[in-house]
Structure 1
Amino acid sequence: MSRIPALITTLAVALGCLAACSGEAPPERAPTATASRGPSPKTFAWRTQAPVFGQPIGAGGVGVVYESAPGERFRVVAFDPHTGRRLWRDEVSPSFTIDGDHLTPVTVTLKRRQGEESTYVAYFTPRDSGNLHADLMVVRPRTGEPVRIAYDRLFRTDPETCPDGRNVCVLALDEQTDSIRTYRLDAAGHLDVTHQYADEGKEQFGLGLVLDDDGSRDLLQRVDSDRQVVWSRPITDVFPGAQWETQRWFTRSGGTYIAALGPPSEITTSAGIATKRTPDLRKARMTAFDAHTGRTLWSVGGVVPCLDWHGWAVADEGERGPQARRGDPDSSVPWVRCRANGGYEYRSTEADSAYSLRSVVLEGFDPTTGKTTWRLPLSPTDQLLQGDQVPFLDRTTAVVSTRRGREQVDLKSGRHRLAGQDATLHCLDDARARYREPIYYDDAPIYYRNGGTLVVPCGPEGRPDGSSHRVGAAMADRWGSTIDGVDVVATRDGLEAYSQARNTT
């Protein structure tokens, strides 16, 4: 049972494109810091202008970030965090990693024979064959020299360190069997299957969950690494009354799976405009079930994930990485969902996108019981479910629109108050980059991919503030990366860095 059209459909409706690529400029050096006594604050160090998307990461004392590239492509760039000088760059492909749609550089840390560990940059680079086929590159951070390469696959998730700590693991599509498998890339460059939970014709979600069709109904199954079924349930038992052929999310909290099923949607494409209409979000459902027995623990209708830090995508059991839920239910990361009345429409063109939605209630919930812990009705004009329009004071305090105006809400407790006009807000600004390597659905090429999410200063209305991009150390501490002692943060114009000023007497 092929699921590739469904995956491509998910990709199609998440598409968009913003500004075209801009040129590069050399780093702008800051003036020499003045002498000071006492604790030294972080001071502006340098700035570069470049079409970056997503925040930079650190790898072995080197900064790494993704950029738009000429010809509607992507590239990875490594830079010196102390000067902003570029060290190397290479072309990047999103391959088939469509969960979440955003691209972010990743690192893998591997053990060597002597027990020492080394950190490498891992990314996909496109092949001439196109159609999102890519090579997996594992390279040295400072030089870009490849240490391992896996050729010609449709990769489904970002690469990550395998549980053995010595190899690189990644989910990829086996086109011969139409199933997603976990592959292991070893030091010799061999790419072998390490887990295949799903037999041919089954769809694999990771964490040992597969969807099987017994000829009359769809079954959600938990299987072990030997492909033995641990438990099996009709999908209609997990999601009563819901239609399975819609958007799906999975995550895990301890011994509990939490799954969400979106309502039925209609997707049309005409004259370059992709339109997704969802008639009624009340038909969505979120369900939790025991990972070991499959028993339903709780089920709530009319809610979908929003303002989500969990990714709602899962990795194979026992593996670590950004796709796996980190922490226990008492984690500091808030659990939040949205309850909406009516439906919504999302329209996307090459030049712009539009999103309309009726009233939404923001809810916190307990992942162990599903019970709502707090509720906050939002204004009909709030675009919370669009995600990238929400400004933040920090990672657990968002600013949303209610009927009282702009309010800041603690996502863990639900406490909220009117946002101060002088507050420095941070917007998740979706920096979409055009990527033009077509894949085909219904004989029509689909070209565009989201690039990544920046965090920029914004005003009380949640609109990015174009007057200044001097974000300061506090912003870098929260949203950028500290790389070899230097805070580096991406803005819509490029990168900015802040370093510790030296005390002089």
Structure 2
Amino acid sequence: MRLLALSAAVVAAFGVGGCGGDLKSGAVVGDPEPVRVWTIAATPVTQPYAVAGMVVTYTTRAERLYLVGIEPSTGAVRWEKEASLGWLNLGAAARPALVGDRVAYLRPTQSTDKLAELVLADPRTGADVAKTSPAVFTGVLSPCANNTDVCVTSAPKTGTKAVPKRLVAATGAFERDGTDADSMRVLADKGLVELGVRPAEVLALRRDGRIVWKRPLAEALPGGFTTDGGYRWQHIADQRLFVGSVWKKPGYTAGYYSRDLATGSSTVALSEETGEVKWRDDGSWYGCAGIDMPPGAGVRCRYRGTVRFADDETVFDALNVTIEGFDLATGRTTWTRDLGPVEGLAGDQGPGAYPPVAGDGQIVVPVDNALAALDLRTGNTRPVGEDEPMWCWESIRYDFRETYRTPDAKTAKRRPGGAALTVCNRVGAPTEGRPLWAVTRWVGVQAIVGRHVVVATRDGFAGYTVDAAPAAQPSASRSGG
């Protein structure tokens, strides 16, 4: 699944010579074509996620948000619950929070000031396992270190300070999660946070309600960089590292954000044990604009040019993109390709902007004046057929009834979602046929249950398999469409 950026600035815009030989063939030898066994008409907000034998996802209708549970083999919608965004950062896309074999979400109340209940639910039935009283929730829901409780920043009401809290699954208690931090922003799984201090930001590793280490952001990144400008971090378990990128905060004039792409980002690796900076690479963006990176593979982009952006509009000037593979442990470049003005890798989220996905860890990009499938593990390329079916990502935006104020004091209700999938050819145009099983499993990796893969499309949801006949179509009456 594409990982979209986590701030309003980044959601609006993204935040050596070529090496490597050619791949020998376009398709995986013997890879079957999957069968689409069901579809549901709906308006997805994000891709689905597998948990406890079900898939859960957000849908929208009539400017409201719903969390739904879908049976992956038949497409039957087993339950639906109205959901809230609370005070979620306006640039962050809502996605189901998986906590062990349960799912956490915010449930709206009748309050006019965005008070919500935090609910931990059974994904098989939607039934409450534990819930809180109405409160203000200001951060992304995430599993606590025990992968049983739910961690979040919360305040009892508007105008009061938000602090780290924990919903205890076993008892339903909603309690302070340690006293060593008054506020924080979760940057990555496994405890990497930013402590909410301004202007001198502080990174920290926080586990079981206590801070293990702190690292001033200024010691890790160049001056002027801030997580308020956009970030992407990832825990690299086998290397005991956190690898991520941070942007400078963009300028803002007359309704548009703007930034210089060559100097606006930096990538860094921090030791999980101590917070020590293991390496830093200025001028690069980890994962480019939301690339799904193969396990163990480091991928980053370098940019030249400028960009200005606002909501659904992104304009580049003199853009050039270079994509690189690198060693996660050392930061050393292992391969590189100069791609030219590929706007989808620099943050344009309009239709057809993001490169088509042609295989397991492969995207279609221009190489030596021809379109080719680039393997993100090795930098190798292969030709792609004119009508070869593949998957294309398309960003989701939707209207939500809880409005907010923009930086120029306008009232708005447009929100970023995740990304929907369509079957396309190498230039991103819709096409007949089905991508091979390996490609479908790659784009739907977070929603695989046995031999079934579920994906969100522009028009709803679809279930694929390689060993079943098409099923009778389920009712879409509760799908959120």
Normalising TM by the smaller chain, what interval? 0.7 to 0.9
121, 131, 141: which one pairs with 2:103?
Answer: 121
- Tell me the residue number matched to 2:234: 251
Task: Tell me, yes or no, if structure 1 residue 489 matches structure 2 residue 455.
Answer: yes
- Tell me the residue number matched to 2:175: 192
Q: Distance in 1 between matches of 2:334 and 2:90?
A: 28
| Equivalences for residues 339-350 of structure 1 within 5 A | 339-348=302-311
Task: Tell me, yes or no, if structure 1 residue 136 matches structure 2 residue 121.
Answer: no
- Structure 1, unmatched stretches of 5+, are 1-8, 17-39, 110-118, 312-325
Q: Distance in 2 between matches of 1:140 and 1:460?
A: 41
- Tell me the residue number matched to 1:28: none
Task: Tell me, yes or no, if structure 1 residue 267 matches structure 2 residue 252.
Answer: yes
1:296-319 deviation digits (Å, cap 9, x = unpaired): 3222211122347799xxxxxxxx
1:279–1:176 distance in 2 versus 1, CA, 3 Å: same
271, 293, 299: which one pairs with 2:280?
Answer: 299
Task: Tell me, yes or no, if structure 1 residue 477 matches structure 2 residue 427.
Answer: no
Q: Give the letter aligned to residue 262 of structure 1.
A: W
Task: Tell me, yes or no, if structure 1 residue 237 matches structure 2 residue 237.
Answer: no
- Tell me the residue number matched to 1:172: 153
The Cα shift of 1:411 comes to 0.6
- Tell me the residue number matched to 2:334: 373
* 1:299–1:370 contact (8 Å) kept in structure 2: yes
- Tell me the residue number matched to 1:437: 402
The Cα shift of 1:415 comes to 1.1
Please state whether the residue corresponding to 1:460 is helix, strand or coil. coil
Q: Distance in 2 between matches of 1:212 and 1:421?
A: 50
The Cα shift of 1:212 comes to 7.7
Q: Distance in 2 between matches of 1:90 and 1:214?
A: 37
The Cα shift of 1:362 comes to 0.7
Task: Tell me, yes or no, if structure 1 residue 156 matches structure 2 residue 153.
Answer: no
Q: Give the letter aligned to residue 95 of structure 2.
A: T
- Tell me the residue number matched to 1:29: none
8, 11, 29: which one pairs with 1:11?
Answer: 8
Q: Distance in 1 between matches of 2:448 and 2:211?
A: 45
The Cα shift of 1:340 comes to 0.9
* 1:130–1:437 contact (8 Å) kept in structure 2: no
- Tell me the residue number matched to 2:24: none
- Tell me the residue number matched to 2:21: none
52, 60, 78: which one pairs with 1:87?
Answer: 78
1:173–1:440 distance in 2 versus 1, CA, 3 Å: farther
Please state whether the residue corresponding to 1:383 is helix, strand or coil. helix
1:405–1:208 distance in 2 versus 1, CA, 3 Å: closer
Larger mean Cα displacement after TM superposition, 365-374 or 168-177? 168-177
1:451–1:204 distance in 2 versus 1, CA, 3 Å: closer
- Tell me the residue number matched to 1:449: 415
TM-score, normalised with respect to structure 2: 0.76
- Structure 2, unmatched stretches of 5+, are 1-5, 14-31, 470-481
65, 68, 77: which one pairs with 1:74?
Answer: 65
- Tell me the residue number matched to 1:45: 37
1:187–1:224 distance in 2 versus 1, CA, 3 Å: closer
- Tell me the residue number matched to 1:113: none
Q: Distance in 1 between matches of 2:346 and 2:99?
A: 32
Q: Distance in 1 between matches of 2:204 and 2:79?
A: 45
1:124–1:457 distance in 2 versus 1, CA, 3 Å: same
Please state whether the residue corresponding to 1:51 is helix, strand or coil. coil
Q: Give the letter aligned to residue 79 of structure 1.
A: I
365, 371, 390: which one pairs with 2:355?
Answer: 390
* 2:50–2:56 contact (8 Å) kept in structure 1: yes
* 2:145–2:208 contact (8 Å) kept in structure 1: no
TM-score, normalised with respect to structure 1: 0.73
Task: Tell me, yes or no, if structure 1 residue 353 matches structure 2 residue 353.
Answer: no
Q: Distance in 2 between matches of 1:229 and 1:367?
A: 23
The Cα shift of 1:472 comes to 7.2
- Tell me the residue number matched to 1:337: 300
Task: Tell me, yes or no, if structure 1 residue 64 matches structure 2 residue 56.
Answer: yes
Q: Give the letter aligned to residue 497 of structure 1.
A: G
247, 254, 263: which one pairs with 1:282?
Answer: 263
The Cα shift of 1:42 comes to 5.6
Q: Distance in 1 between matches of 2:92 and 2:414?
A: 10
Q: Distance in 2 between matches of 1:121 and 1:147?
A: 10
Larger Rg, first or second structure (1 or 2): 1
* 1:13–1:276 contact (8 Å) kept in structure 2: no
Q: Give the letter aligned to residue 243 of structure 2.
A: I
Q: Give the letter aligned to residue 258 of structure 1.
A: V
Bigger relative CO (Cα 8 Å, ≥ 6 apart): 2
The Cα shift of 1:92 comes to 1.9
* 1:476–1:482 contact (8 Å) kept in structure 2: no
The Cα shift of 1:49 comes to 1.8
Percent identity over the alignment is 23
1:355–1:403 distance in 2 versus 1, CA, 3 Å: farther
Larger mean Cα displacement after TM superposition, 475-484 or 443-452? 475-484
* 1:308–1:335 contact (8 Å) kept in structure 2: no
426, 429, 436: which one pairs with 1:460?
Answer: 426
Please state whether the residue corresponding to 1:438 is helix, strand or coil. strand
Paired residue total: 430
Q: Give the letter aligned to residue 256 of structure 1.
A: L
1:196–1:97 distance in 2 versus 1, CA, 3 Å: farther
1:312-345 deviation digits (Å, cap 9, x = unpaired): xxxxxxxxxxxxxx9xxxx734211111113212
Please state whether the residue corresponding to 2:47 is helix, strand or coil. strand
Q: Distance in 2 between matches of 1:332 and 1:223?
A: 24
Please state whether the residue corresponding to 1:478 is helix, strand or coil. helix
